Structure 1
Amino acid sequence: MTYDIKDINLAPEGEKKIKWVQRHMPVLETIKKEFMETKPFEGITIGSCLHLEPKTINLGLTLQAGGAEVVMTGCNPLSTQDDATAAGAKLGLNMYGWTGETNEEYYEQLNKVLDYEPDIVIDDGADLIFLIHKERPELLEKLRGACEETTTGIHRLKSMFKDGELKIPVMAVNDSYMKYLFDNRYGTGQSTFDSIMGTTNTVIAGQTVVVCGYGWCGRGIAMRGEGLGANVIVTEVDPIRALEAKMDGYRVMPVQNALKEADLVITATGNRDIISGDDFKYIKDGCLLANSGHFNVEINEDDLAKQAIARENIKPDIEAFTMKDGRIVYLLAGGRLVNLAGQYGQGHPAEIMDLSFAMQALSAKRLLTEDMKPGVYKTRDSTDEKIARLKLKTMGVKIDNLTEEQEKYMNSWDVGT
């Protein structure tokens, strides 16, 4: 075990946090026990680029229990929890990264993970996968495949495959039911508002909240905002999603129209320049801007700074931009992923990540048991069902089963009248 972290002496506090999340991640704990017996990763090295916090450390420990040598680094310099990385190192994981890395240090840590020549990669945003293809292609021969857990990362990988540049099979964990129906929706919705409310100490009820993007993350944010008493407006470019938002009861309009009413704007599209250029002219005084997309490109900070006559850090993770006409616009967490990079960002609740990381663990196992060509692969519905049944069992929930006659009826085309 080797590491390059902030302070190994922070491990005791990190271990307390890991024990807490383990208690709230029963599905992953069940899979961990299974892995301890079967050792599916014996002799395998798994490299990961994830948000380094207690829940992801628990995923690393699950893979370690299956026999893997696990190497971990962070996918966002501001989301790493230094006590968690210290605990991970103490528990035998190879840990690289600390809070507040420079961009140069970030890529140094990615390369340190790749120095282990991993057999499997688990990624969040596809930075590790992309780096292998672009700068370290010699590692492709040994690499069995990868798992990707974000919408942003899947978009990048599908583009690579379309252009003939993807040389490995990748499991699209993000596209599994147990990921996007729960992680993207309930996880992002809750963790986004947890961080914003902790950072600003402002009330959501009665505010006009604009949600840019109505994918699964946007749906979750809109739903949670409505639940907190907000007046929710959705902006979209996809006509089907826009129609869905309208029928879900939200107002739908172009970004510039929405900005005129917004008290809080949350971007969640996975694309760049959602708020940029002339958009800032329409924002009303006192508006808060936050991003829940993976990269800090959705709110164009450079454009905002150019139009401002002054900028000031008025509070941790709150920067005030004074415009020429006297309006003040507030940017949260530097436009980075607010639910993890913000001061009060803890990421999704453990009960939610229990499902996503269970899917990661089982998808990594699949890469070893099947001969798969380069491409982006959907996870199996049977794996989603297995995880759902395990979760229901841990919650004490029982459900019905089809009778033999019902099974026969559902699988027959000649059902009669």
Structure 2
Amino acid sequence: MTGDSLVEHGKKKIDWAMTHMPLLARLRREFTEKKPLAGHRIGMSIHLEAKTACLALLLREGGAQVAVTGSNPLSTQNDVASALAAEGITVHAKHGASDVEYSGDLRRVLATEPDLILDDGGDLVKLLHSGVKLEIRGGGEETTTGVHRLRILEREGKLRFPMYAVNDAKMKYLFDNRYGTGQSVWDGIMRSTNLLIAGKNVLVAGYGWCGRGIAMRARGLGARVLVSEVDPIRAVEAVMDGFSVGAMEEMIEQADFLVTSTGCSGVVTKRAIACAKDGLVMANAGHFDVEIDKRALAALAVRQEDVRDGIRQFTLGDGRRLYLLGDGRLVNLVLGDGHPVEIMDISFALQALTLQHIVKSAPLSPGVYGVPEKIDQQIAEMKLATLGVKIDFLTPDQSAYLGR
């Protein structure tokens, strides 16, 4: 597709997402009327697909000038990027961008001189601490990896402006990280492989909120779930949840599927790969493509070939065949459409209200801040309303008893 047909295709995808994002629809009405972001410029680095396009358009309706780029070279959808640009949003992104092109797109977004940042993984913030000097009022970070990078900057005394850890809000990690990742990862794996999950051994590396979701959905699909963890508390939790827990190099011998979700590098090492079962399918759900050692995989292989779209086969010297999905990048976005629309409706409502909170509040000193509890509660109440769910409330006597 090219030209008008590309734009039209992207617009239909955006319209479909908007139809299923009731929280953003409510905020759109408020933002259109009150223009809470008027006079501000927002720089976004985010997985550029239909749901994130809805967020960019909402922020524009709130009065902001918006410039957006991708947060992963393979997750940008060109039709959506074209449709967003046709709507008047400044877009610097394309699918399959080289490292140089990707970095250039980030710099072009910062060249619009934003005073608010919306980051997914921390690449914009990294540039803002690597020679690009702008007056940033604040911003929000969407991911576990990005928050980790922010906390390192804060700990080293280098963070130059306030950033909100949107990822750490309850209405984010309890739903996006768990239910969103759990569904979208298996959607990407099943779309790309067309293989049966039931009866297979699935090894999940990392039992944080994302790992919990991946393991939960694997069990629901009929798999036997194995878990690799370095945190003893999470390992105990995985055991109590009914999963087999052990060391990577032992568990990988049994695995038919391996999914990494740790946010750390070097999770699947050369030694682990050497122990892998013939036919192992490997996928990554962490932000960066560093969890599976791709160099070691290539070094162990005597032959490589692409056997399906997004699937590379590595044949080892003894004839074993191992499969890497999506070049070890985010499998749910490289080989799928990412998290379900309704899940991202929650996360992006958090982002929008956090940016509104930043501009309405007194300037803060540099640091990593939690999303205010009142915003978390507001999003939960809005979500319940869209579901038609009513809940009880504390009586005055109960509030007094609890000291509230």
- Shorter-chain TM band: over 0.9
Which residue of the partner structure matches residue 338 of structure 2?
347
Deviation of the 1:272 alpha carbon: 0.5
Pairing 1:385–2:381 present: no
Which residue of the partner structure matches residue 322 of structure 2?
329
Which of the numbers 373, 391, 400 marks the counterpart of 2:392? 400
Deviation of the 1:17 alpha carbon: 1.0
Pairing 1:22–2:18 present: yes
Tell me the alpha carbon deviations over residues 87-127 of structure 1, each in whole angstroms, 9 at most, x when there is no partner.
11111211111111111000110011000000101000000
Deviation of the 1:9 alpha carbon: 4.9
Runs of 4+ in 1 over 2 A off after TM superposition: 6-9
| Amino acid corresponding to residue 20 of structure 2 in structure 1 | H
Deviation of the 1:381 alpha carbon: 1.6
Secondary structure in 2 matching 1:75: coil
| Amino acid corresponding to residue 137 of structure 2 in structure 1 | R
Pairing 1:85–2:86 present: no
Give the distance between the partners of 1:165 and 1:243, measured in 2 at CA: 36
Tell me the alpha carbon deviations over residues 60-112 of structure 1, each in whole angstroms, 9 at most, x when there is no partner.
01101110001000001111111111111111211111111111000110011
Give the distance between the partners of 1:327 and 1:115, measured in 2 at CA: 49
With structure 2 as the length reference, what TM-score do the two structures score? Answer: 0.98
Which residue of the partner structure matches residue 230 of structure 1?
223
Which residue of the partner structure matches residue 361 of structure 1?
352
Deviation of the 1:14 alpha carbon: 1.1
Structure 1 segment 82-121 matched on structure 2, within 5 A: 82-121=78-117
Give the distance between the partners of 1:8 and 1:289, measured in 2 at CA: 37
Deviation of the 1:135 alpha carbon: 2.2
Secondary structure in 2 matching 1:266: strand
Secondary structure in 2 matching 1:289: strand
Q: Which runs of 5+ in 1 are unaligned?
A: 1-5, 413-417
| Amino acid corresponding to residue 205 of structure 2 in structure 1 | C
Which residue of the partner structure matches residue 320 of structure 1?
313
Cα RMSD (Å) of the superposition? 1.0
Which residue of the partner structure matches residue 269 of structure 2?
276
Which residue of the partner structure matches residue 51 of structure 2?
55
| Amino acid corresponding to residue 40 of structure 1 in structure 2 | P
Which residue of the partner structure matches residue 240 of structure 1?
233
| Percentage of identical aligned residues | 50
Give the distance between the partners of 2:5 and 2:67, measured in 1 at CA: 20
Secondary structure in 1 matching 2:338: coil
Give the distance between the partners of 2:214 and 2:357, measured in 1 at CA: 32
Deviation of the 1:189 alpha carbon: 0.5
Give the distance between the partners of 2:184 and 2:235, measured in 1 at CA: 24
Structure 1 segment 166-205 matched on structure 2, within 5 A: 166-205=159-198
Tell me the alpha carbon deviations over residues 348-397 of structure 1, each in whole angstroms, 9 at most, x when there is no partner.
01000000000000111111122211111011121111111111111111
- Contact 1:7/1:82 (8 A) holds in 2: no
**Between 261-270 and 22-31, the greater mean CA deviation after superposition:** 22-31
Give the distance between the partners of 2:129 and 2:358, measured in 1 at CA: 18
Which residue of the partner structure matches residue 157 of structure 1?
150
Tell me the alpha carbon deviations over residues 155-210 of structure 1, each in whole angstroms, 9 at most, x when there is no partner.
01100110111011000000001110000000000000001000000011101000
Deviation of the 1:53 alpha carbon: 0.4
Which residue of the partner structure matches residue 410 of structure 1?
402
Give the distance between the partners of 1:258 and 1:365, measured in 2 at CA: 46
Give the distance between the partners of 2:339 and 2:183, measured in 1 at CA: 7
Tell me the alpha carbon deviations over residues 305-342 of structure 1, each in whole angstroms, 9 at most, x when there is no partner.
10111111111111111111111111111100000012
Give the distance between the partners of 1:170 and 1:181, measured in 2 at CA: 21
Which of the numbers 347, 366, 378 marks the counterpart of 1:374? 366
Which residue of the partner structure matches residue 415 of structure 1?
none
Secondary structure in 2 matching 1:83: helix
Deviation of the 1:7 alpha carbon: 4.8
Deviation of the 1:241 alpha carbon: 0.5
- Contact 1:317/1:334 (8 A) holds in 2: yes
Tell me the alpha carbon deviations over residues 111-156 of structure 1, each in whole angstroms, 9 at most, x when there is no partner.
11000000101000000011011120x21xx210121010000001
With structure 1 as the length reference, what TM-score do the two structures score? Answer: 0.95
Give the distance between the partners of 1:159 and 1:369, measured in 2 at CA: 27
Give the distance between the partners of 1:298 and 1:23, measured in 2 at CA: 36
Which residue of the partner structure matches residue 287 of structure 1?
280
